[in-house]
Amino acid sequence: MQTLDLRGVTCPTNFVMAKLELEDIEVGTTVEFLIDDGEPVKNVPRSLKDEGHKLLGLQERDGYYVLTLEKGAE
């Protein structure tokens, strides 16, 4: 599973980086994104879901979140 660390990256740059990462992988692939609390955890999952990706989980870890999703069709 691929993991992209977006901690410390502000909105909307973190969403743009996540979207670019997803362009390079196959549909159906599971990816993890590490995101900060606050605006990122509110906006990134919603924006990626709106793009057609399937959210599989959002877990809080030590001060950040792990967003797991499956790449959807483009």
Residue 66 clears pLDDT 70, i.e. is over it = yes
Check if 55 is active-site.
no
Q: Specify the pTM.
A: 0.94
Residue 62 clears pLDDT 70, i.e. is over it = yes
The catalytically annotated residue of 11, 41, 58, 66 is 11
* The pLDDT of residue 74: 66
Count the Cβ atoms, other than its own, within 10 Å of residue 69. Answer: 23
